[in-house]
Structure 1
Amino acid sequence: MDEYWDNVYRTTPLEKTGWYERDPSTSLRLLTECGLRRDDLILDVGAGASTFLDHVLELGYSKAIAVDISEVALSLLRTRLSEEASSSVRWIVDDVSKPGELGTLHDIALWHDRAFLHFLLEKAERAAYMETLRGVVRSGGFVILAAFSLEGAKRCGGLPIRNYSGEMFAELLGDDFRLIETVDHTYTNRSGKRRPYVYARFQRD
């Protein structure tokens, strides 16, 4: 799978990918409402070459972790950032459902995922994802999840995906994560296609 995504990022300009979002305003608003300290650990799962961490660092947060299965994608993101901004990011090439280095993390204040979870079609993969999440997110920490809504696209990057609702996110996370809010958000990509998403923000007990 890493080779698949490496090839996607080598051959497709970021701005022409179906998931590209120049201004991740919904994620940033949800992040801001978590009330984190500027030195809290923020983990972006499936970071790819997205612009989320660009904005996070511009807001003054100083400790970020970018995780993606594609080394090529992370290299694109790292190159785009300034040297100073890049030095504030820990770069990890890993599969969240089969974690290596990722599984050694702890004290994560925010787990943000707009890109990875919906590719996990098998129940066992989602269980492994949750095992990793529970192992690294601290008590009182936050989780922001986003995926194509039930009315949204059925494929992404040429691969089938699992659509979500806020209730499905809550069922996945379980009782030790309190659902704070859900947000329906539709953005229009550069090709003019509308992409309905659902976002949800949780806090761990």
Structure 2
Amino acid sequence: MAEHWDRFYATRDPAELSWWQPHLTCSLRLIEEAGLPRDSSIIDVGGGNSTLVDDLLARGYERITVLDLSAAALDQAKRRLGEKAAKVTWIAGDVTSLSLPAQAFDLWHDRAVFHFLVSPERRRQYLDNLRRALKPGGHLIIATFAETGPTKCSGLPVVRYGVDELARVVGAEFKLVKSLREEHLTPAGATQDFIYAHFVFCGR
């Protein structure tokens, strides 16, 4: 799977990728509304070469981890950030299988990873890692394709969610705080419907 994404990042300009946004406006809004201190620990799952890390650094957040399957995507982000890349922890790996430290993060952000997990087993592995790595009282901000979104992305099948269904799948340990809908306009001019959900983790 990593090879699939490495190929996308290696053969296309970032601004040509369907998920590209100059700034992740909805994500930034929900992160800021969480009201976390600037020294809180934030992980961006599937961050790739997204500009979220740039914008978080610009806002003064000090402890950011970016995790992605694609080392090529992370390398692009590091080159873009230049010297600032040293302020960030970078992890190339699969969030469903790697071992993250226990109760390490105050906020877990995921824009468009979870909807690629089409098997119940991979969703279970993702959620097990999430529950282990997020501190009790921590925040989960997750964005997926909405019920009206596409059924495939980048040649791969996806699962579409409504807010109630997403809340059911992530589990009762997570209390829904807020949800947003977004019509994402791709660089090719297509529209993709997303939902964003902000949860607080009540602990196991």
Other-structure match for 2:195: 198
In structure 2, distance between residues paired with 1:139 and 1:151: 33
Other-structure match for 2:27: 27
Q: Deviations over 1:75-118 (max 9, x none)?
A: 001110131x2122100011011114xx2353301100002111
For the pair 1:93 / 2:92, whether they are aligned, the reply is: yes
Alignment of 1:13-52 (within 5 A): 13-52=13-52
Other-structure match for 2:134: 137
- Asked if the contact 2:111–2:142 (Cα under 8 Å) also holds between the matched residues in 1, the reply is yes
SS in 2 for 1:64: strand
Aligned identity (percent) is 35
Letter aligned with residue 172 of structure 2: D
In structure 2, distance between residues paired with 1:168 and 1:64: 29
Q: Report how far residue 48 of structure 1 moved.
A: 0.9
SS in 1 for 2:76: helix
Q: TM-score, normalised to structure 1's length?
A: 0.95
Q: Report how far residue 173 of structure 1 moved.
A: 1.8
Letter aligned with residue 129 of structure 1: Y
Structure 1 residue corresponding to 2:159, chosen from 162, 166, 191: 162
Q: Report how far residue 51 of structure 1 moved.
A: 1.1
Q: Deviations over 1:50-77 (max 9, x none)?
A: 1111111111101100000110000001
Other-structure match for 2:125: 128
In structure 2, distance between residues paired with 1:69 and 1:23: 21
Superposed CA RMSD in Å reads 1.0
Could you say if the C-alpha distance between residues 17 and 28 of structure 1 is closer, same or farther in structure 2, counting changes exceeding 3 Å?
same
Q: TM-score, normalised to structure 2's length?
A: 0.96
In structure 1, distance between residues paired with 2:189 and 2:92: 32
Q: Report how far residue 164 of structure 1 moved.
A: 1.2
- Asked if the contact 2:183–2:193 (Cα under 8 Å) also holds between the matched residues in 1, the reply is yes
For the pair 1:109 / 2:106, whether they are aligned, the reply is: yes
SS in 2 for 1:87: helix
Figure out how many residues of one structure are paired with residues of the other and give that number. 202
Q: Report how far residue 38 of structure 1 moved.
A: 0.4
Other-structure match for 1:118: 115
Q: Which runs of 4+ in 1 moved over 6 A?
A: none
